[in-house]
Structure 1
Amino acid sequence: MLAELSIKNFAIIESLTLSFDKGLTVLTGETGAGKSIIIDAISLLAGGRGSSEFVRFGEKRAEIEGLFLIDDETHPCIEKCRDFGIDITDGMVILRRDITANGKSICRVNGKLVTIAILREIGRLLVDIHGQHDNQELMDESRHLFLLDEYGSDEIQKAKEIYVQLYRKFLDIKQRLKRLTENEQEMAHRLDLIQFQLKEIEDANLEPEEDVKLQEERKKIVNFEKVFKALQNAYDALQGEQRGLDWLGLAMSHLEDVSNINEKLHEMSEALSNHYYIIEDLTYQLRNELDQLEFDPQRLDIIEERLNEINHLKRKYGQSVEEILQYAAKIEEEIETIQNRDSHLHTLREELESIQKDLLVEAENVSKLRKKWAKKLIQQIKEELKALYMDKTTFDVKFLQDVTEVKFTQDGIDQVEFYLSTNPGEPLKPLAKVASGGELSRIMLAMKSIFSKHQGITSIIFDEVDTGVSGRVAQAIGEKIYRVSEGSQVLCITHLPQVAAMADHHLYISKETIDGRTKTHVKTLNEEEKIKEIGRMIAGVEVTELTKQHAKELLKMAFQVKSS
């Protein structure tokens, strides 16, 4: 959920910090007080389009920061952040966006600088904002198949995984076929090129890790003088009369004379003896290493020449000898394929035909499952709409398959679009073309109450989606929004007292003018203040005792609905 929001120098907001809780939070207040500005700030935080117009007049930048708490370790936002190398500690995700006066945006997630595109990808998994006329996901027909698959949950997902594995093999074979059936002249040019490349690599007679071994040998030769002096000086310091070993031997002899007096002297004598023999052995090793050292300037020239040859091949075929040899193996296989093109074409066509049959079986299985879940979705949406007094509305999930040709895609063979008819006798039309404001609000709310359970969105925001409705419909919308808040945190801007009465938390937005500048204020209302504010929403400016009674009655009814 969105736990805290900090806004600074944004539109008419000078500085504002808000804390939010789980459940349903409503924001009310007079028109123009800044309710929608708060939602705009959250929208920008989630990757919305920014503009210098958002920066408060006379300031250099606007700053927006939001703290989101995620208590589900499997939430898709956590995996998405890991994909972008963003650390998440204790389930906290902090989104920050600064907009400068010249329109530039600076975005951060948990302190790491990110692009707006990355901020948007993460933000859409945390916040879902709905306005009355916004082009929302539910109104985008290209997203309807995804929503149906989300609704079908694990059953559709498992079937899709099997299909996708086959689909990847199918694409691979198609790509190989395409390469083999390209223009013959291009194929001949390609064959000449890779034959030349293979000969160049083979003529080099490369050995695995040859470059690493040569660099080590080169390092030894280049540092010969330094190594020789160090070994010689170390040997001279240890070996010889009045040198290191000589003095150690004398110390060992003195300790041996008294080692039988007590246990401690005996242990010290033994320890010194052990170290003496270890250093004596090391002295022999130094002598052997000195005897084996050879300086061959001609060998250095040979190594340099070979490394230059290998580096030339690296620039063309790989970053290491292993990569060069792998590339050689790959083009050798390609040469064999091109030279035996007809035979390979026949084999690939047989493989493609076989996998196409299997792919069609799996695609039809996914399609069958989708149609099963589509029927359940149609029935559930019908029930949701009935509760919103749209029982005459007809909803359908249309499968728009091409009957003339089966087209395989990443998602199968289905094209899905949601259709709707709001009046009896009227034909079903694409959901995106439903235009009535009040009807659109209820349809969106009915669908969101279903899909929000399957999408894992932590915070859902409704920006005046209740516009254009009143009476019993307003009451039904309030109850429906509250039902959505049972599964996700909901923030709702409303002008309807029926919706405000259902709130778990009520924030009142107001503005005042100080020194010629407008400032926005937010106050959390207590029970008495809720009654007064709901009374204002019912009656307008003047709140009478009768109005307060109506407000109390609304709150009482809301409490009964929530308790049930």
Structure 2
Amino acid sequence: MLHELSIRNMAVIEEANIHFHQGFHVLTGETGAGKSILIDALSLVVGGRGSADMVRYGCDKAEVEALFDLSGDHPVWQRLQSLGIQHDSSEMLIVRRELTATGKSSSRVNGQLVTITMLREIGESLVNIHGQHEHQSLLKSEQHLEWLDMYGGAELLDIKRQYNEQYEQLLLVRSQLHELENSSRHNMQMQDLYHFQIEEISAAKLKPGEDEELLEQRKMLMYAEKRSASVNEAYGLLNDGQGLDAISRAISRLTDIVSYDESALAPMLEQLQTAYYAAEDVMYQLRGYRDGIESDPEQLQYVEDRLDLIRGLKRKYGESIEEINAYLAKITEERDKLENRDELLAELKEREADIYAAAYELAQQLSSRRREVAERLAKEIKVHLMELQMGAANFEVDLVSMPHGESSPVRLSATGIDQAVFMMSTNPGEPLKPLHKVASGGEMSRIMLALKTIFAAIDQIPVLVFDEVDTGVSGRAAQAIAEKLSKLAKGCQVFSITHLPQVACMADHHYEIRKQFVAERTYTSVTELYGEQRINELARMLGGVEITEKTKHHAQEMLDLAIGLKGA
């Protein structure tokens, strides 16, 4: 349930902290007192649209925070987990929304920032707000099939899920067919292009890493003469008496005197001997390296040509040999598809027929199940309408399936093969007609209330809000709506904004919204009423501005009768 709602600097509300309870709540007050602001605030915390106009004049931002107390197995916890929001199902859920005077918005769930889309997804599991605009959705026949499927429960929804999977596959195959059938000229052009590109790349016979190897080989060939001259000179310096011979003579001189100062001269003599052997070894290596150097202009030209070829292919097909080969594999596959177009076309048509058959079979199962559900839904709605003082009304779900024949197969839609329209007759003897042609505003309110009552047990939304659902009704019909709302509140938390004392007296909890003017500013307050306060508010609703003992007595009588009705 909604445990607490805090509002700061929103419209004419400077600050309000409202605690709620289980059961049926009514919100009453003079016209223009700001009752709808509470609904707007609750709408914000469940992802409703916000604007800078909602921020109280002179303030930087408006803040709304809601505290929900939910059972551990409520569906919202699973939704939070799927969205990656940290939570503990043993604690309360905190939802916060801020609107700035510049029109920016931010939202948090349990202190974690969320997007409006995420907030809306979470809010769908928490609060259902019914306002006058929802009458319009009731008049839209495309909504009727959706409600019918929801009423059908898990079995029907499972068939619908299977159908949707097949339908998506059918759309995919048909898209592929359409693309294949309508691109013949383009296909021929692409086929020629692919042939040329495949031949060009294949003829090069590229090997991974070949370009790096060729660059290294080119460097060696380009500088063959320079390498040979320098190495030969180095070899000569070591071999012509200026190199090794000088070191040898130095070793001989040190050998003659090493015994006179062995501690100092012996290490130097050893180093010279090591240097001699190292230099001698390098000399032999230089000779071998020099003899192996080859100057090959023809091979150099081959390497240059090969590198030019690779550079040209890179400009066309990829930044590396690996990318060029990957492109080759891709266009080879595409070419094969184009060359096998007729076979692929036949295969796709056969696949389309198979998927269509499977989808149509599921659509028929779905349609059959819907017909059973439609009868049940119509009967249950008529029971609720009878309780809402519309016992003479007749209600049916007109479920029409598209015809099917071998020569003209059904064009399946995203919802199957059915169209559903809620049909009604408000007076005996009158034919059934679509809702928008027969129902008045007050009747529409009661039909919507009947639907909400039915679906409250299905969608498991803990908080239902009705914004003047009793508009256009009076007398016994108003009393029937009040009793229906009270019964509905046995299974969930119900809020209703009302101007009717018949509805207000049936509430378990009564809140008054009052507007005041202080120092040329408007302030709206929300107060939970008890005892005499509640009697006075009901008396005001009964008699207008002037409250008399008679109206107060009538108000007390209504409360007593309401307590008796709820107890029964």
> Normalized against structure 1, the TM-score is what?
0.72
CA distance in 1, matches of 2:337, 2:150: 43
What residue is the counterpart of 2:301 in the other structure?
none
What residue is the counterpart of 1:505 in the other structure?
509
**Equivalent residues in 2 for 1:119-518, closer than 5 Å:** 119-135=119-135, 137-191=137-191, 333-403=333-403, 406-432=410-436, 436-518=440-522
CA distance in 2, matches of 1:197, 1:50: 57
CA distance in 1, matches of 2:49, 2:556: 41
Residues 392-441 of structure 1: per-residue CA shift (max 9 Å, x gap): 22222122444475222333222222222323454434334556222121
Tell me if the contact between 1:394 and 1:420 (Cα under 8 Å) persists in the aligned partners. yes
Deviation of 1:556 after TM superposition, in Å, equals 2.8
Moved more, 20-29 or 429-438: 429-438
Q: Look up the SS of the partner of 1:407 in the other structure.
A: coil
Residues 162-199 of structure 1: per-residue CA shift (max 9 Å, x gap): 32333333233323323322311222344466678888
Residues 120-172 of structure 1: per-residue CA shift (max 9 Å, x gap): 33323322212234456434432222211110101202222332333333233
Q: 1:85 to 1:201 in 2, by over 3 A?
A: farther
Q: 1:186 to 1:486 in 2, by over 3 A?
A: farther
CA distance in 2, matches of 1:432, 1:194: 60
Tell me if the contact between 1:132 and 1:437 (Cα under 8 Å) persists in the aligned partners. no
Q: 1:68 to 1:343 in 2, by over 3 A?
A: same
2:389 maps to amino acid: Y
Residues 476-505 of structure 1: per-residue CA shift (max 9 Å, x gap): 100111122222211111122221122121
CA distance in 2, matches of 1:334, 1:93: 54
1:526 maps to amino acid: Y
Moved more, 553-562 or 447-456: 553-562
Q: Look up the SS of the partner of 1:415 in the other structure.
A: strand
- Structure 1, unaligned stretches of length 5 or more? 208-304
Deviation of 1:42 after TM superposition, in Å, equals 1.5
What residue is the counterpart of 1:521 in the other structure?
525
Q: Look up the SS of the partner of 2:418 in the other structure.
A: coil
Tell whether 2:541 aligns with 1:537: yes
CA distance in 1, matches of 2:67, 2:36: 20
Q: 1:531 to 1:407 in 2, by over 3 A?
A: same
Q: 1:534 to 1:111 in 2, by over 3 A?
A: same
Tell me if the contact between 1:505 and 1:524 (Cα under 8 Å) persists in the aligned partners. yes
Residues 44-89 of structure 1: per-residue CA shift (max 9 Å, x gap): 33333323222211112222222233325351x4444444433333
Tell me if the contact between 2:28 and 2:512 (Cα under 8 Å) persists in the aligned partners. yes
What residue is the counterpart of 1:5 in the other structure?
5
CA distance in 1, matches of 2:196, 2:84: 42
Moved more, 474-483 or 127-136: 127-136
Tell me if the contact between 1:434 and 1:440 (Cα under 8 Å) persists in the aligned partners. no
Deviation of 1:507 after TM superposition, in Å, equals 1.2
Taking only the aligned residue pairs, the percentage that are identical comes to 47
Deviation of 1:39 after TM superposition, in Å, equals 1.0
Tell me if the contact between 1:14 and 1:56 (Cα under 8 Å) persists in the aligned partners. yes
1:147 maps to amino acid: W
CA distance in 1, matches of 2:13, 2:361: 58
Tell whether 2:563 aligns with 1:559: yes
Tell me if the contact between 2:426 and 2:439 (Cα under 8 Å) persists in the aligned partners. no
Deviation of 1:515 after TM superposition, in Å, equals 1.5
What residue is the counterpart of 2:94 in the other structure?
94
CA distance in 2, matches of 1:372, 1:317: 63
Deviation of 1:388 after TM superposition, in Å, equals 1.0
2:87 maps to amino acid: I
Q: Look up the SS of the partner of 1:15 in the other structure.
A: strand
1:397 maps to amino acid: V
CA distance in 2, matches of 1:197, 1:80: 51
Q: 1:439 to 1:102 in 2, by over 3 A?
A: same
CA distance in 1, matches of 2:402, 2:37: 45
What residue is the counterpart of 1:215 in the other structure?
none
Tell me if the contact between 1:130 and 1:136 (Cα under 8 Å) persists in the aligned partners. no
Deviation of 1:14 after TM superposition, in Å, equals 0.5
Q: 1:433 to 1:460 in 2, by over 3 A?
A: farther
Q: 1:161 to 1:51 in 2, by over 3 A?
A: closer
* Equivalent residues, number: 458
Q: Look up the SS of the partner of 1:462 in the other structure.
A: strand
Residues 63-122 of structure 1: per-residue CA shift (max 9 Å, x gap): 2222233325351x4444444433333264433322222333333344444443443333
Structure possessing the higher radius of gyration over alpha carbons: 2
Tell whether 2:103 aligns with 1:103: yes
CA distance in 2, matches of 1:154, 1:171: 25
> Normalized against structure 2, the TM-score is what?
0.72
Q: 1:549 to 1:408 in 2, by over 3 A?
A: same
